[in-house]
Chain A
Amino acid sequence: MGPERLAFRLLLPSVAVLLLVIAYPVLRAVYGSFFDDRPMGPAAFIGFDNYARALWGAGGADFWAAFRVTFLFTVVTVVLEVLIGLGMAAIMHRSFRGRGLLRASVLVPWAIPTAVAAVLWRWAFDPRGIVNHLFGADVTWTGAEWPSKFAIVFADTWKTAPFVALLILAGLQIIPKEVYEAARIDGAGVLHRFRHITLPLVKPALVVAVLFRMLDALRLYDLPAILTNGANDTTTLSILVVRASLGDLKPGYGGALSTLTFLLIFVTAFLFVRLLGAGALGRDRT
């Protein structure tokens, strides 16, 4: 059997599953987005009406609110997670005693199911909960707009900053020690070494970590769905899509929303790679 036949047979099962549960549904949703959502009878072709409705029609207010909230969450959580991740990675990189314990404990937030973490944070942010108690505050966290947003950002940052730290740590560990020694002998200070050695060398790892995190943050669903169920202006694009297509049983309009959502994700990822990471991602990685 030639390599092409063999490769075809080996790849067939995986490709078939992905075609069935990802490619077909995505195309089906795009196709359905051009039809209306009448309760009975065959749906009628309506062109781009569903898109017009989402972008500047009756659904415009909801869509742009979800758009703003999703990008706000993405920017804030990714920035926080990278800053905290850098700090944690630097600490882990310098620790030799107890490194195993540190690395194992860093994996704990990542391993906890998001649904469980969301329930945990919902109780922690309860008016009578531990967060108010520790800070002597009296805030109804999940009952108002900004406290709700803060709670979601906090819960997401706790869960994923450690993961970002691990990705950065892997990048740090490939920097040879001699580079630092040489710089130190030449009289470079801590900040100088960080800016001119650590940052450029860790940049590929950082770019990949940020890209992964951005793609994830843009489709944020579990946390706000369980913490606030989208109340108080915390409805992300993903929640909006689920509400329209499964809650309101409007597959056409929901399809338009989901198409807009993944187009936004693609465009954001593309711009990010073009602007920041072209060099870092352009190498052969297999």
Chain B
Amino acid sequence: MSTTAHEVRRWGGTAGLLLANGLVLVFCLAPFGWMVVSSLKPPAEIFDNRLLPANPSLVNYAAVFGSGSDFTLALRNSLVISASVTVISMVIGVFAAYALARLKFRGRNLVLGFFLAMSMFPGVAILSPVFQLFADWGWINTYQSMIIPDVGFSLPLGVWVLTTFFAAMPWELEAAARTDGATPSQAFRHVILPLSVPGVFTTAILVFISAWNEFMVANSMSQTPDVQPVTVAIAKFTGVSQFDQPFGTQMAAGVVVTVPLVILVLLFQRRIISGLTAGGVKG
């Protein structure tokens, strides 16, 4: 009797948990799902609000990649900008994080504080002066006018996360390699560098995603399609013709922009979560 009651309660608990899981999944995925569904609807049915397209078609994707559309250019620009930001931030961020995690020097806390303070300013506070500065240098509408501010935005968090990773590494191994006769640079390259790959890779994913998603700086710095990244291109999409409802086209473009990120997230969710939480919580 009491066993049955216990089982019923446990079964009820499991069902409740499943239901709760379902709610979380719907909350997180339904809007993205709606974007995919809308992107597959032909323009005439775009507002029929059916949960599945009645006549699925790829006409929106054809419009996104068709002639007269600059979206392929925008994808290329986003890729160039985000990849450059990631490479530059990782190279100089690894230098900085190594110094902060491994070297004892005066002013270490000051430098840490500096990195933290630099992450607190709102982007809009720097927008107009940077625009002025880059205008003086003739840099408006160039890749570097977006790459360098993005590096500045990603460095504080990147250095912070890398420093936590580096501080937790088994540095005894480096010392052991040194006693076995390796030079400092050999010990670093053959022992420490391979071990730090996961941490560096995790940070690189975070930096890449934030650069790929940047909108505010790109929106002021880029003025023609040949340097405009996808975020700006989508916000400015007008559809195939100017009388067209750009809903479907924008959704198709949104899916194209988001799918690489969703794949990154699915492949590397553990790494991404450890990176996101390394800055905030000490596990």
Contacts and interface: CB of A to CB of B under 8 A. Distances in A.
How many chain B residues sit at the interface, stated as a range, is: 35 or more
Interface in B101-156: 101, 103-106, 108, 111-112, 114-115, 118, 120-133, 148-149, 151-152, 155-156
Nearest to B254: A116
Secondary structure class of chain B's binding surface, majority of residues: helix
Contact of A251 (B128, B152, B159): B128
Contacts of B283: 170, 173-174
Given A111-B262, A114-B213, A116-B234, A17 B101 contact: no
A153 B34 CA distance: 19
B24 A104 contact: no
Nearest to A155: B31
Contact of A170 (B103, B209, B273): B273
Contacts of B49: 128-130, 133-134
B32 to A, nearest CB: 6
Given A14-B155, A108-B28, A170 B115 contact: no
A113 B118 contact: no
Contacts of B20: 91
Interface string A89-121: 001101100101111111111011111111111
Contacts of B276: 163, 166-167
Secondary structure class of chain A's binding surface, majority of residues: helix
Contacts of B247: 123, 126
18 contacts: A15-B111, A17-B151, A26-B126, A92-B24, A106-B24, A107-B273, A113-B212, A114-B215, A115-B232, A116-B257, A119-B250, A119-B254, A134-B49, A166-B273, A238-B122, A245-B128, A258-B128, A265-B120
Interface of A: 3-4, 6-8, 10-11, 13-15, 17-18, 20-26, 28-29, 32, 84, 88, 91-92, 94-95, 98, 100-109, 111-121, 123-124, 126, 128-130, 133-134, 158, 161-163, 166-167, 170-171, 173-174, 204-205, 208-209, 212, 215, 218-219, 221-222, 225-226, 237-238, 241-242, 245-246, 251, 254-255, 258-259, 261-262, 265-266, 269, 285-286
Interface of B: 17, 20-21, 23-25, 27-29, 31-32, 34-35, 38, 47, 49, 91-93, 95-96, 98-101, 103-106, 108, 111-112, 114-115, 118, 120-133, 148-149, 151-152, 155-156, 159, 163-164, 167, 209, 212-213, 215-216, 220, 230-232, 234-235, 237, 247, 250-251, 254, 257-258, 261-262, 264-266, 269-270, 272-273, 276-277, 280-283
